[in-house]
Chains A and B, each alone.
Chain A
Amino acid sequence: MKQTEDLVRSTTRALAGTVRAVRPLPPLPEAPSRNEVTPGRRTRPAWVAPLAAAAAIIIVAGGGVTARSLLAKSGTPRPSASGAPTRGVSAGSYTGVPPYYVAVANSSLTVVRATWTGATLARITTRTPVVGVAGAADGRTFVLDEQRSIMGGKVTWVGQPTFYLLRLTASGTEESLTRLAVPAIPNGTVVSGLALSPDGSKLAVDVDSDSWPQARLMEIMTYTLATGAFRSWTTSGVTNADAPFGFTGSGVDGAQSISWTADSRTLAFGVENTSYIGMRLLDTAAGGTDLMADSRLAVVERNFRDPGRSLRNAAPPYYFVSCITDAMISMDGSAIVCGYSTSVGNTTTMGFAQYSTGTGKMNHVVGLVHFEGQAPIGISLYWVNSTGKIAIGTSETTGRGRVGVMNGDTFTPLPGVTGFEAIAW
């Protein structure tokens, strides 16, 4: 990784060094109105820098932590209606899509919105910024992760994160916000993933050392909310040759990296090391404390030692990317859904694919977006249904992106899902 950093440094500086002079600034107007200027003649069409240039630079695909909805009402888990809706069915009728989502709008504001209308139902202000959010399967129980302080434009680490349990009423308004009494995370680590179990009883927290990518410590902890009891599974990126690079993905700041099955027992997490990139399954009810030894490798996206077994080579010339950083396990535990892209000739296809946890092979395409060219790609996955056939996510190319419900080749945009730092259904 160090070598890559050095290459990036030398390349960007060499690229910058190709600019040796710039054209002069056009003549500035003699008497502009106070808030309006008429620029001098321009040699090229203008791209007017927005007034809020110094304000938020937040990409729609910014991402966050997600949970899946299996329940139609709070409390008792029950399976969602089986199968995907038929094409042409109104997106609003998709079975199992949660009615509300929680989005971190900015450093002090978290909002609850209606999924299908984008209407804001609740506004939650906090003194310490919320940086992560995760939801249970009932669609009305969430955990907020307060971690840092932003004062006067300065982002400051304030020590231990604080977790809050947010409960919504049946109409999506705030019912309660309660601080959770969970033990401290190890010093020197940061939360990189967060997942609330479907029944809302356990919180899984993925932490890594602040020295990433050296990753001296990687740990997944589970907290029982009612009692504060916790378990942890660790691995050392330095001494464990199986995981020298640690985890990828970030449930808090990026896309989902850990997710639960419906029984609130199995946890899926992504791993990248010198051997492979893939997803592992951890039985949190079984014994053990070794994250690697006590988990099972379910899906191998890339096999560096045996390229023939990589998913990308299963159907050449396809090229798969970012599978584990945006991967989630379906509630029934049968499948892992992850973002991918393929380039064939001058056409790029991106979307989400479902892989069997039993065979490790792709068996279903959840969402597809086709476009010409090989543009940069960003994919984020926020929610999958119980069988992993319907998802909420976004696929974007350099800043273009919409969050929507994906079902096969049907993409239904959701209104008003913009400008968030973290989001959860």
Chain B
Amino acid sequence: MDAAKAEIPSRSHAVTALYEAHALGLVRLAVVMTGDQGSAEDIVQDAFLGLYRRWDRLTDLPHPLAYLRASVLNGCRTALRRRSRADRRLQRLSEVPSESAEARALLSEEQQAVARAIRDLPYRQREALVLRYYLDMSEADAAEAMRVSRGAVKSATSRALAAIGRRLKEGQS
């Protein structure tokens, strides 16, 4: 058995172990970002397959979860971009609700309104908001995850909160 083949089991085992440890949390993150569990699971699986594919080049990866999270967020962005194109066709036929039936059942009316407001945010604002308030990241950590400056995170977050506040206020009036 040559060295390359010898690596395969450990690589496979390591990625599978990471999947078992982190897939649920990452799918939840992707659901918050995309509002759709099917898409979220696809995105997360792609992230793990990407990790598996690049394992050779990532042997010194100190924080695989951070890498996977960035990969998932990038996948969410791609998915939303594709969905936006598709929505333009689909919405001619019918309005497709973004929240699942389960989400609609489990979320209060106010939370559903907030979820809709989050869904309507530009992607970067949504991402900043999710990193800051769902994952409870500091501004610096969110900036690192988004690969933008801390000020950009602050700006995007404040805009997002203001937009949601306005949406909720309008809903009350």
Contact = CB atoms under 8 A, between A and B. Distances in A.
Contacts of A1: 161-162, 165
A49 B47 contact: yes
Contacts, number: 274
Given A19-B24, A192-B151, A9 B134 contact: yes
A42 B16 CA distance: 16
B91 interface: yes
B75 A154 contact: no
Interface in A1-47: 1, 4-5, 7-19, 21-26, 28, 30-32, 34-37, 39, 42, 44-47
Q: Which of B19, B80, B147 has the most CB of A within 10 A?
A: B147
Nearest to B126: A376
* Contact count band on A: 35 or more
A23 B45 CA distance: 9
Interface in B81-102: 81-85, 87-88, 91-92, 95, 99-100, 102
Interface in A394-414: 396-400
B133 A8 contact: yes
Contacts of A138: none
A11 B115 contact: yes
Nearest to A375: B84
A213 B158 contact: yes
B50 A53 contact: yes
Contacts of A131: 149, 151-152
A373 interface: yes
Nearest to A148: B149
Contacts of B110: 7
Contacts of B56: 34-35
A1 B166 CA distance: 11
Contacts of A375: 84, 87, 120
A239 B86 CA distance: 49
Interface stretch (A245-253, A358-366, A381-389): A245-253
B133 A25 contact: no
A25 B45 contact: yes
A148 B150 contact: yes
Given A148-B149, A155-B143, A321 B74 contact: no
A16 B31 contact: yes
Nearest to B104: A18
Nearest to B160: A8
Contact of B151 (A57, A250, A321): A250
B155 A346 contact: no
A16 B28 contact: yes
A15 B122 contact: no
A273 B150 CA distance: 24
Contacts of A55: 147
Contacts of A325: 159
A58 B148 CA distance: 7
A114 B118 CA distance: 37
Contacts of B52: 28, 32, 37
Given A18-B31, A53-B70, A397 B84 contact: yes
A346 B151 contact: no
Contacts of B173: 307
Nearest to A48: B46
A254 B155 contact: yes
Interface string B99-136: 11011001100110011001111111111011001100
A50 B53 CA distance: 12
A28 B73 CA distance: 23
Given A36-B53, A248-B158, 7 more contacts: A7-B110, A18-B31, A34-B56, A35-B54, A53-B74, A154-B144, A252-B155
